[in-house]
Amino acid sequence: MERLQKIIANNGYCSRRKAEELILQGEVTVNGQVITDLGSKASFNDVITVEGHPLKEKVNEYILLYKPRGVITSTKDEKGRQTVIDLVKSQNRLYPVGRLDYDTTGLIILTNDGQLTNLLIHPKNHIPKVYIAKIDTAVDPAQIKKLTAGVIIDDKIKVKADKVKIKKLDKRQNSSTIEITVHEGKYHQVKKMFEALGYNVVKLKREQFAFLTLKGLKSGEYRHLTTKEVKTLYSLVK
């Protein structure tokens, strides 16, 4: 048994505060009876309605999306740009786990499981994220090594890469491709890390999030995570 407002909010119907308002306004019934007491408890064995809609038990959904360029990692955009949520079909209110820039492509998870989201984005859980960065010059390998020692971004924050690998270095074409693994998710982190060394990232793709990869997906496509993958994600976080 749990407080009604908690059941309604956990279900994703609305926030807990909004649920309290609805209860006080007489918009919530349990087994046919209007409940206005904020201390009331119920369970999913009870028939609960909110504003006349029956509350169904929430089923968690987990989607792995290959985000294309030019899509915003948000649930809505005031400028009317396409969002990652627009790219998937779902009955649930899904949210992205972390973010990728508008021009960054690659792996992003969408879910309505707020608990797992919070755990996955918390830096203490050290979830590795692997990116492929394309730089518009032939980089100096000695400079690139500094990324694992740590560089300063935003004038004061020291951030380190867990791993860096130069995949391609083309002096004639003036370009390099670098694989970089980080476990934090600061705003524009990877671009800023290269910027700290004087390098400009012209393309960025996230190829891996924890053990998950884009295997089998093309840009704009998605798939649901398997139960085993969700369990494994939970086993990685505290």
User: Can you tell me the distance from the alpha carbon of 35 to that of 19, in angstroms, rounded to the nearest whole number?
Assistant: 12
User: Can you tell me the distance from the alpha carbon of 217 to that of 155, in angstroms, rounded to the nearest whole number?
Assistant: 38
Residue number with CB closer to ligand URA (94 or 191):
191
- In whole angstroms, the minimum distance from the beta carbon of 189 to ligand URA comes to 4
Residue number with CB closer to ligand URA (160 or 188):
188
Residue number with CB closer to ligand URA (183 or 188):
188
- Rg for the chain, CA atoms, rounded: 22
The question of whether 113 is a catalytic residue gets the answer: no
| Three-state SS annotation for 69-137 | CCCECCCCCCCCCCEHHHHCCCCCCCEECCCCCCCCEEEEEEECCHHHHHHHHCHHHCCCEEEEEEECC
- In whole angstroms, the minimum distance from the beta carbon of 191 to ligand URA comes to 4
Determine which one of 37, 46, 77, 101 is catalytic. 101
* Cα angle 188-189-193, degrees, rounded to a multiple of 5: 120
Is 206 within 8 Å of 106 (Cβ atoms)? yes
- In whole angstroms, the minimum distance from the beta carbon of 188 to ligand URA comes to 4
What is the contact surface with ligand URA in residues (CB under 6 A)?
Answer: 100-101, 104, 188-191, 204
Residue number with CB closer to ligand URA (119 or 190):
190
- In whole angstroms, the minimum distance from the beta carbon of 116 to ligand URA comes to 20
User: Can you tell me the distance from the alpha carbon of 146 to that of 148, in angstroms, rounded to the nearest whole number?
Assistant: 5
User: Which sequence positions are flagged as catalytic?
Assistant: 101
